[in-house]
Amino acid sequence: MVWSIDGVIADSVRRAQRMHNIPCPNCLFLTGDYHLKYPVRPQVALSEKAINCIDMNLNL
């Protein structure tokens, strides 16, 4: 039982670290409008697929 609790905690930490790598909040194309949250790539926005998003290069 201790091993499973330790595994769950470790997995949660890894998942949280990965989610913090999502760059969308710093992206030029992310808007605060709930009608049009991400006009360029809505299928990728705010997901793990956006971690290596090429649009982040535009925000330099």
Domain limits, the chain? 2-59
Alpha helices in 1-60 (DSSP H): 2-19
pTM of the model: 0.52
What does each C-alpha distance from 13 to 10, 16, 20, 47, 52 come to in angstroms? 5, 5, 11, 17, 20
Q: What is the pLDDT of residues 2-53, one digit of tens each?
A: 678 888 888 998 888 888 887 777 777 777 677 776 667 778 777 888 888 7
Confidence (pLDDT) at 60:
47
Confidence (pLDDT) at 56:
64
